[in-house]
């Protein structure tokens, strides 16, 4: 059989992109560096105790007492291991990459849910993104943006994008058709149906997608360290190269603590409100509230 050479065309495409869109990659690198730097300054500027208390108050506001206690003890442990700055640097990368993935993924998921052709075209691309090994993302990212925090952010955002698209599309498609039809029967335009009916009812699924985005972004922290990004990835990577088991254990434990905290907090935000759906159905179906509820 004849040899099939795909490496040559791939290299040609990369060189063409660099020759024609190098200015765009430079602009993305500049903006990403500035944004990550601002977030790092905001997270590392105050004393660790202030941030620990703030991170503890977030689950308290959500009435998750166990998560609040975990946050207080776990982040105090990170500070005691002298990994506070590295943890905040990794958190900054995760926040920026997650924001990029959400800004791109959620609208794309809405578009795919409302147009069958878009869903058909996007699905193979999402399959490719989810099955490609994480290390492969670093090759074009480093080639386009050089070594540093920017390829780590870009590779993390691309790797974590798929769940935001899939679960947003799934959530909107699973909205009760009767509720949508009732809203349309009352003359609501498509944008209002999306804003007031489909998105609120699909919110638990969308939040689950955001939760998965954050988890995938955290899983890329160590990989991003290979591209020169600072933070816990650099700690773990340095421990691997130096065969330092203790440093690797501490860096990995800090990653686990950050992952558990973000997972529990986003999970609490994604908790469904069981009374919201029946009330919304009654409103759009035009059914009056029971007299007892009205007097209450």
- Domain residue extents for the chain: 14-45+81-285
Domain 14-45+81-285 has CATH 1.10.3720.10: yes
Q: What percent of the chain has pLDDT over 70?
A: 89
pLDDT of residue 2: 60
User: Helices in 5-83 by DSSP H: which ranges?
Assistant: 7-44, 48-61, 65-80
- The mean pLDDT value of the chain amounts to 80
Structure tokens belonging to residue 134: 């994480």
pLDDT of residue 77: 92
pTM higher than 0.85 for the full model? no
Average pLDDT of the segment spanning 233-255: 83
Task: Categorize the per-residue pLDDT at 1 as very low, low, confident or very high, splitting at 50, 70 and 90.
Answer: low
- Give yes or no for a contact between 250 and 44, defined as CB atoms under 8 angstroms apart: no
State yes or no: pLDDT of 54 exceeds 70: yes
Q: Render pLDDT for 99-138 as a digit per residue (tens, 0 to 9).
A: 998 999 899 999 988 888 988 998 888 888 878 777 777 7
At a CB cut-off of 8 Å and minimum separation 6, what does 220 contact? 97, 134, 137, 152, 155, 156, 159, 160
191-237 pLDDT, tens per residue?
788 878 888 888 888 888 888 888 888 888 777 777 777 778 778 88
User: Is residue 80's pLDDT more than 60?
Assistant: yes
If one compares 230 and 277, the residue with the highest pLDDT of the two is 230
- DSSP of 233-294: HHHHHHHHHHT-HHHHHHHHHHHHHHHHHHHHHHHHHT---TTHHHHHHHHHHTPPPPHHHH
pLDDT average, residue stretch 90-103 = 89
- Lowest pLDDT segment from 17-31, 57-71, 153-167, 221-235: 221-235
Mean pLDDT of 242-270: 85
């Amino acid at each position: 059989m004849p040899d099939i050479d795909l490496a040559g065309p791939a290299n040609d495409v990369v060189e063409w992109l660099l020759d024609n869109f190098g200015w765009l990659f430079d602009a993305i690198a500049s903006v990403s560096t500035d944004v990550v730097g601002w977030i790092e300054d905001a997270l590392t500027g105050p004393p660790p105790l202030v941030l620990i208390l703030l991170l503890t108050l977030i689950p308290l506001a959500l009435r998750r007492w166990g998560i609040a206690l975990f946050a207080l003890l776990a982040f105090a442990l990170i500070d005691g291991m002298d990994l506070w700055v590295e943890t905040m640097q990794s958190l900054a990368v995760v926040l920026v990459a997650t924001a990029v993935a959400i800004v791109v993924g959620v609208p794309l998921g809405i578009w795919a849910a409302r147009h069958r052709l878009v869903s058909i075209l996007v699905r193979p691309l999402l399959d490719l993104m989810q099955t490609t090994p994480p290390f492969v993302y670093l090759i074009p990212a480093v080639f386009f943006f050089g070594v540093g925090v920017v390829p780590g952010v870009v590779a993390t955002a691309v790797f974590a994008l798929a769940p935001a698209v899939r679960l947003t599309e799934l959530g909107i498609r699973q909205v009760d058709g009767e509720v949508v039809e009732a809203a349309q029967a009352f003359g609501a335009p498509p944008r209002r149906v999306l804003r007031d009916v489909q998105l609120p009812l699909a919110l638990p699924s969308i939040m689950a997608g955001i939760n998965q985005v954050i988890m995938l972004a955290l899983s890329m922290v160590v990989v991003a360290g290979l591209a020169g990004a600072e933070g816990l990835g650099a700690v773990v990577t340095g421990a691997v190269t130096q065969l330092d088991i203790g440093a690797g254990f501490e860096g990995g434990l800090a990653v686990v603590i950050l992952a558990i905290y973000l997972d529990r907090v986003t999970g609490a935000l994604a908790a469904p409100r069981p009374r919201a759906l029946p009330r919304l159905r009654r409103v759009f179906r035009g059914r009056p509230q029971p007299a007892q509820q009205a007097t209450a």
